[in-house]
Chains A and B, each alone.
Chain A
Amino acid sequence: APTPAEEDITRGVDWLTKFGYLPPPDPVTGQLQTQEELTKAITAMQRFGGLEATGVLDEATLELMKTPRCSLPDLTTEETRRKR
């Protein structure tokens, strides 16, 4: 699969954070999510969205992220924590 552009990754991380798949960066250390966390978050998002769970920010995933939607997150903090 082609490697996603840096811009897509940034947008994807923002999206995944906004809708509850990724915890926000640590406000004290500023530490970002690890690649493993990101892959898990993408996988969860793909499963929730009815896509093939590849863990990769592929075209279909980016397309779904552009689909109009409700502002509320898909996963609760508890679920996010459990997935971590």
Chain B
Amino acid sequence: FAQTVTKWRKRNLSWRVRTFPKESHLGHDTVRALMYYALKVWSDITPLNFHEVAGNNADIQIDFSKADHNDGYPFDGPGGTVAHAFFPGDHHTAGDTHFDDDEYWTFRSSDTHGMDLFAVAVHEFGHAIGLTHISAIESIMRPYYQGPVGDPLKYDLPYEDKVRIWQLYGVRESVSPTAKPEVSKTDDHPILPELPENRSTVPLRRDVPDRCNTHFDAVAQIRGEAFFFKGKYFWRLTRNKHLVSLQPAQIHRFWRGLPLNLDSLDAVYERTSDHKIVFFKGDRYWVFKDNNVEEGYPRPISDFGLPLGGIDAAFSWAHNDKTYFFKDNLYWRYDDQERRMDPGYPLVAVLWKGIPSPLDDAMRWSDGASYFFKGKEYWKVLDSELEVQPGYPQSIARDWLVCS
């Protein structure tokens, strides 16, 4: 039981759900989303940054285990001990977090027999970053399970816990600074977590656009999922084109580091070279790794060899992995591997016969086709073809945003 106060020396910590609950009604994506939001509770107020990874080298390995699982803290079936996490340190289990798979894990459930996974995860991640138990009745670090703590998107740590974690890591100065990750592996592409389903408890804001009756500022495929951006919001579709929620998420709450006063985006795309995500607005752009902006951004779009004045659209063509930028009736071709604009551009945008100009945005999709968006309509061009498919344009709202 010997334990002195320890903390992480680095500020960028990776995480991964290695094993999921076996018989829970909670889907993998919901579990990942709850872990994401439980970590975010801590990173929102400290200089810590968490990013999900797919590989085996995550700082915080998350497992759902039963009984004796060879770490000296055997679980004891339903009730009793429900979870634990290892404090920071040099040992290989530091940060690892284990949940008892014999518990009935729930999310937004009125079932009093269930264990609210988000509430327990916030507590355990407190340990994973160095907090011990305390007796304060309001604290999330009280050792006893105290029931659900409400909406993960709105949860605010008790003051007692804020003070203790600030004593370890200091205060987060702003939402923008994010140091470059210390470890970066090409085969370790992080996956963005799902937003939790059932967002019905989130009240509609007055400036929320109507997804069925709007033209979008930007559209992008990111890690296989489609993102439709409008104003300060975005909608998200899974790989199988299911809308994650009818209600949009707020851009600045999900993509940490964009200016809070950003009222819209021009274009977004995922770089094929390193899977980082690039956001454009006016003469500036930002590069994100996962949900966090990289250090040193925004930068001017002249870095790409683009003229000032902004762009309308950006996408990577599956046919040649080159990135295409559009502005009015012009387009440029950029080599993301070489990090330079191909010579001879801009050209008048007639490469894909039938697409309109100016575009709102474009993206490649998992079916290999390219999709071009303007107003309330979209056009489809098959993989290596240079002409719009017959029957287009079609309705964005109907085909992508689940509108009748």
Smallest beta-carbon distance B237→chain A, Å: 37
Partner of B79, one of A49, A68, A73: A68
A-B contact pairs, 20 of them (CB 8 A): A48-B135, A48-B143, A49-B144, A68-B82, A68-B115, A69-B80, A69-B81, A70-B123, A70-B124, A70-B127, A70-B133, A71-B82, A71-B84, A72-B73, A72-B85, A72-B132, A73-B133, A74-B135, A74-B143, A78-B2
Give the chain A neighbours of B120 by CB distance below 8 A.
70
Contact between A47 and B84 (Cβ–Cβ < 8 Å)? no
Contact between A69 and B1 (Cβ–Cβ < 8 Å)? no
For the complex, count residues of B whose C-beta is within 8 A of A.
26
Contact between B133 and A66 (Cβ–Cβ < 8 Å)? no
Q: How far is the CA of A1 from the CA of B120 in the complex (A)?
A: 35
- From B80, B115, B137, residue with most partner A Cβ within 10 Å: B80
B83 at the interface (CB under 8 A from A): yes
Q: How far is the CA of A66 from the CA of B76 in the complex (A)?
A: 12
A39-84 with Cβ < 8 A to chain B: 47-50, 64, 66-78, 80
Q: How far is the CA of A78 from the CA of B132 in the complex (A)?
A: 13
Contact between B132 and A69 (Cβ–Cβ < 8 Å)? no
Q: Which 8 A-B pairs have the closest CB atoms?
A: A71-B84, A71-B81, A68-B145, A48-B135, A77-B2, A74-B133, A71-B73, A69-B144
Smallest beta-carbon distance A50→chain B, Å: 6
- From B3, B82, B103, residue with most partner A Cβ within 10 Å: B3
B338-397 with Cβ < 8 A to chain A: none
B75 at the interface (CB under 8 A from A): yes
A20 at the interface (CB under 8 A from B): yes
- Contact of A70 with B143 at beta-carbon distance under 8 Å, contacts A47-B135, A76-B132 already known: yes
